[in-house]
Amino acid sequence: MVSLLGMIAVSCSDDGENGPDKHVFTLSQYDVRYDAAGVWASWNTTQPLSIGGVNFARNYNPTYDSWIGFTPSKLYGTNYTSSYWTNEDVWGACVAVSNKPDAQKPFMLGYWDVSESLTSIPENPSCKISLASGERFFPLMINVTNSTVGYYQMLYGAGYVDGGTTDNLTAPYAPFGANDYCNLLIWGVRGGVRTQQPIKIELAKGTNIHNDWIEVNNLAALGEVDYIYLQMESSKTDTYGQTNASYFCIKAFAYLVQ
């Protein structure tokens, strides 16, 4: 793998003429239409989500007016409200944007299906990323962080939004303590076989809960893949799965195509 990465680093080009073609996906590169609130204008439609040659899995359920998978957003929020889930709570990245060069730049909001198995490949992974061309690719880098509601539910407890307090929430809905964790897992799949181990990104370790972008540069360890899919694991679970909100945010994603 070290030898392969060295070859990629030397031969990488942006035009594909002298080696693999490197791509860095960011939503700000593309003309995506947002509503007045700052959310993708087509979030409540069943249309597929394919932008810049990248397919992002999503499933909208009109019966419940709900979705799972990915949705573009450009909302940021660091002032969580306990009385009601505002747009910034549900659709926001938990990053303070003042004095930041990327303030208010759009990102991809992920919402993972907590009922998915972590021990085998789901039939239809809720947070799957593939190329529209169907080509295999080498994942390289991803830039992620917590959503606003995800951050504050870990900080205050999963029932906080429903009127709970840090005093009356019991496990598994209590605020995160020293032994708690929440990780983002990135799996690679090639030929129907997934990588032996996922790339693991710490969204929270104990009471250290991330509220800024995390750049992860070791995705090449997944090798060449047909697709990747993202899941979460948390110390806070019940019989239905993870109890803290299963949202996360992606600002950038880099990959190579041979």
- Write out the chain's pLDDT in tens, 258 residues: 333 433 333 334 444 455 689 999 999 999 999 988 888 999 999 999 999 999 999 999 999 999 999 999 998 887 766 554 566 667 889 887 665 656 568 999 999 999 999 999 999 999 999 999 999 999 999 999 999 889 988 988 876 555 555 555 778 888 999 999 999 999 999 999 999 999 999 999 999 999 999 999 999 999 999 999 999 999 999 889 999 999 999 999 999 998
| pLDDT for res 158 | 79
| pLDDT for res 5 | 39
Q: How deeply is 3 buried, as exposed, middle or buried, from its count of CB atoms within 10 A (0-12, 13-18, 19+)?
A: exposed
Q: HEC string of 188-234?
A: EEECCEECCCCEEEEEEECCEECCCCEEECCHHHHCCECEEEEEEEE
Q: Is the dihedral of CA 68, 183, 23, 12 positive or negative?
A: negative
| pLDDT for res 140 | 98
| pLDDT for res 91 | 85
Encoding tokens for residue 205? 């370790």
Output the CA–CA distances (angstroms, integers) from residue 248 to 25, 71, 145, in the order listed.
Answer: 17, 11, 6
| pLDDT for res 8 | 36
| Collapsed DSSP state (helix, strand, coil) of residue 129 | strand
Identity of the amino acid at 11: S
